[in-house]
């Protein structure tokens, strides 16, 4: 029987889906951002649907500038179980505020950049 392997992903497929490089996936596993990934008989990683979902969360946090150390904390809270919901909320809300600041900041500096562009246009003819 071929793989109708219910929702199991090879490393290559996970790279494809998440945009993380293979090295990054191994690195994340090493440092504990991912729980130890399951293996097939040959010792190769086989990611579950859950693993991929968690990676999606990580991509989102990384993509908004959360440092690895804080993601690690989040990972630990998540592993610790349901009694950590409040802490996880606090962590994400704090991060959300930082994202908001980032956006405001970018918008503000973008105005300055656009002014500069307009100035250059005015003097460059």
Partner DNA sequence: CTGCAGGCTGGAGTTCACTCCAGGTCAAGC
Partner DNA sequence: GCTTGACCTGGAGTGAACTCCAGCCTGCAG
DSSP symbols for 84-113:
GHHHHHHHHHHHHHHHHHHHHHHHHHHHHH
In the complex with a second copy, the residue whose CB is nearer, 80 or 89, is: 89
- What is the bridge-based pairing of β-strands 47-48 and 8-9? antiparallel
Q: Rule CB under 7 A: say whether 102 interacts with DNA.
A: no
- For residues 107 and 14, give the distance between their C-alpha atoms in angstroms, rounded to a whole number: 34
Asked if 13 touches DNA (CB under 7 A), the answer is yes
Q: Does 112 participate in binding a second copy (rule CB under 8 A)?
A: yes
48 near DNA, rule: CB under 7 A: no
Tell me whether residue 34 or residue 61 sits nearer to a second copy (CB atom).
61
Out of 41, 112, 123, 124, which residue is the one contacting DNA (CB under 7 A)? 41
* C-beta closer to DNA: residue 3 or 122: 3
**Closest distance between DNA and the C-beta of residue 2, in Å?**
8
Cβ atoms within 10 Å, residue 105: 10
Per CB under 7 A, 62 contacts DNA: yes
Binders of a second copy among residues 7 to 46 (CB under 8 A) are none
CA distance readout (Å), 43 to 20, 30, 32, 39: 21, 16, 19, 5
């Amino acid at each position: 029987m071929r793989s109708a392997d219910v929702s199991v992903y090879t490393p290559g497929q996970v790279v494809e889906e998440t945009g993380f490089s293979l090295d990054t996936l191994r690195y994340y596993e090493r440092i504990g951002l991912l729980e130890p990934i399951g293996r097939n008989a040959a010792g190769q990683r086989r990611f579950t649907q859950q693993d991929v979902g968690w990676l999606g969360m990580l991509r989102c946090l990384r993509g908004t500038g959360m440092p690895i150390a804080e993601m690690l904390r989040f990972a630990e809270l998540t592993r610790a179980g349901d009694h950590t919901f409040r802490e996880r909320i606090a962590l994400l809300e704090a991060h959300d505020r930082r994202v908001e600041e980032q956006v405001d900041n970018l918008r503000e500096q973008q105005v300055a950049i656009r002014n500069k562009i307009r100035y250059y246009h005015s003097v460059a003819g």
